[in-house]
Amino acid sequence: MSTHRYPRRVDVAIVGSGPTSAAYARILSELAPEARIAMFELGPNISNPPGAHVKNIDDPIERAAAQRASEGPGAGADTVDHPGAVKAGQRRARPGTFLLSEGYVAPGEDGLPVAAMSSNVGGMGAHWTGACPRPGGAERIDFLADLDDLLLEAERLLGVTTQAFESAPFSGMVRELLAEQVDSGRAAAYRVQPMPLAVHRRSDGALVWSGADVVMGEATRSNKNFTLFDNSLVLRVLTEEGTACGIEVRNQHTGARHRVDARFVVVGADALRTPQLLWASGIRPEALGRYLNDQAQVVFASRLRGVQGRGAAGNPAAGLSEQSGVSWVPYMDAEPFHGQIMQLDASPVPLAEEDPVVPGSIVGLGLFCAKDLSAQDRVVFDDQVPDYYGLPAMRIHYRLSARDHQVIERAKEQIVRLGHAVGEPLDEKPFVMPPGSSLHYQGTTRMGESDDGRSVCSPDSEIWQVPGLFVAGNGVIPTATACNPTLTSVALAVRGARRIAEKLNGSLLMSESDNRMSK
Ligand SMILES: Cc1cc2nc3c(=O)[nH]c(=O)nc-3n(C[C@H](O)[C@H](O)[C@H](O)COP(=O)(O)OP(=O)(O)OC[C@H]3O[C@@H](n4cnc5c(N)ncnc54)[C@H](O)[C@@H]3O)c2cc1C
């Protein structure tokens, strides 16, 4: 799939190769198989098939190498935690991701000290946890009448199931204990339930985590009109008379720059780098980079009471295993946080040696909070200072409002209640992770119902002022979600891709009938 003979001209140029870009490639391969599609990814290919999740790599040395290869300028930096998770109060990145080296906090503001990115084929989708809850209440985009249809399609593309960890020990028990605490008065869709996860079982029984490879699927891989170019940094989106007409790309191996003409351009370069690329291209709508929102994250851990062991303890560095169950406490408008409750094989805090951990008995509780949206929370770009990749450097402006602090305090009270409900808390107090920890940054290329200056793109994800230019990723989500956003952003990508397919098929049909008429 990967080659460096760039084409002169394609129908669709896709920037980035994470799950949302992959959704464009997949839908276009299915609906417009005659269209020539080229995907340009800044980072290297790290897995097989391209875009596959690193957790599917059995060998721990190979897995660590794939993670490091995804860390761009962060590879080898002491801000990346190998192995492990981000810890409270530390400016650390998870393996496979890297942090902004500067510009992450302005004086007197909260900033996003652990705003992170990944640079590899598959993007963050090669490193994610795969939690795919549907949005509820005010998280939903009320002007999209087809949202449920799009979410269903996104679940198909990501391979989402609630049954992956059915046999995990104690999961039922954890859910019953959580339900006793929260379910009363909640409608069925908002009650405690297994977390929908993007994971499936191979025929030999092994778990396989979905990455961009699963989203692309065989339909994309076998599409002779689709090509993926890795190590290819897109420097600019090109326009002609205000319409998108191609991209300028730099081969990261040779440094050579190329122009590729395209009828449609899709930018899915994450919620920080998509607005950066638009800015660098001179496409600067009022709302670009604004309404930036991250989900403040509160964490706590408990140990189940009175449980007997089954199986051996797993390796915490390898992520979720057969012992892990993931439960979901859905967001509600009245309680604007989303609960991701994970059973772990190892304790996140040290326990006495004579006190072995029963696999699945440590319960890690996380509540993600919906942000109080503000146009002042934004990423801006400095034309005078190039970043590591030569694009305008990012500067984050980000504050937690009084309402954000109130929601975080309520989430802390709730998580302590949940922690006591499931077992013996391992800590005295919950932790609030540094801003940016959620890895769910949204709003910077937000969708709107009309071009009113508060949105960047249409309900089809097409930039209002630039016909032919589409954006993808969590930045497109206009609401303040607390739930994990990838399912929603893949759903929005499905809508945009269908629109492009419609236009391509319409113009192909037109040119066919033109040909017939001229014969
Ligand atoms: C450890 C971890 C756990 C997570 N868990 C969850 C979870 O459980 N549920 C959930 O919903 N989300 C989770 N996420 C977030 C999830 O991975 C992202 O929401 C998702 O990957 C976003 O997809 P994307 O396609 O928009 O962008 P990304 O996956 O970030 O991909 C963007 C790609 O664009 C490339 N790119 C950037 N600039 C350029 C350029 N100029 N030229 C060419 N290429 C460029 C980048 O290199 C990158 O590969 C997690 C993330 C991590 C790291």
Q: Tell me: the pLDDT tens digits for 378-411?
A: 999 999 999 999 999 999 999 999 999 999 999 9
- Residue 127 in any domain: the answer is yes
- Residue 23 in any domain: the answer is yes
3-state secondary structure 143-188: CCCCHHHHHHHHHHHHCEECCCCCCCCCHHHHHHHHHHHHCCCCCH
Least confident piece of the model among 87-101, 109-123, 133-147, 330-344: 87-101
pLDDT for residue 83 is more than 70:
no
Give the count of beta carbons closer than 10 Å to the beta carbon of residue 90: 12
How far apart CA 173 and CA 196 sit, in angstroms, is 18
Dump pLDDT digits (tens) for 89-123: 678 899 999 999 999 999 999 999 999 999 999 99
- Residue 251 in any domain: the answer is yes
- Residue 199 in any domain: the answer is no
**210 vs 23, 198, 229, 327, CA distance in Å?**
13, 5, 21, 19
**Cα angle: 488, vertex 370, 17; to 5 degrees:** 35
Sign of CA dihedral 426, 431, 437, 442: positive
Dump pLDDT digits (tens) for 191-220: 999 999 999 988 887 889 999 999 999 999
Ligand 1 site-directed mutation target among 236, 274, 486, most atoms within 8 Å of CB: 486
pTM, two decimals, is: 0.94
Q: Which residues span the domain enclosing 237?
A: 1-58+115-137+211-295+440-490
User: What six digits make up the tokens of 262?
Assistant: 């395209």
Q: 45 C-alpha vs ligand 1 centroid, how far in Å?
A: 14
3-class DSSP state of 37: strand
- Residue 369 in any domain: the answer is no
Q: Is the CB of 293 under 6 A from ligand 1?
A: no
Q: 513 C-alpha vs ligand 1 centroid, how far in Å?
A: 41
Dump pLDDT digits (tens) for 494-510: 999 999 999 999 876 55
The number of distinct structural domains making up the chain is 1
Ligand 1 site-directed mutation target among 39, 63, 128, most atoms within 8 Å of CB: 128
- Residue 280 in any domain: the answer is yes
- pLDDT for 92: 86
- Residue 471 in any domain: the answer is yes
pLDDT for residue 1 is more than 70:
no
- Residue 399 in any domain: the answer is no
Mean pLDDT over all residues of the chain? 91
Question: In the chain, pLDDT over 90 holds for what percent of residues?
Answer: 80
The CATH number for 229's domain is 3.50.50.60
3-class DSSP state of 85: coil
Dump pLDDT digits (tens) for 22-33: 999 999 999 999
- 156-169 burial: b if 16+ Cβ within 10 Å, else e: ebbbbbeebbeebb
Atom of ligand 1 nearest to the CA of 391: 41
How far apart CA 317 and CA 183 sit, in angstroms, is 33
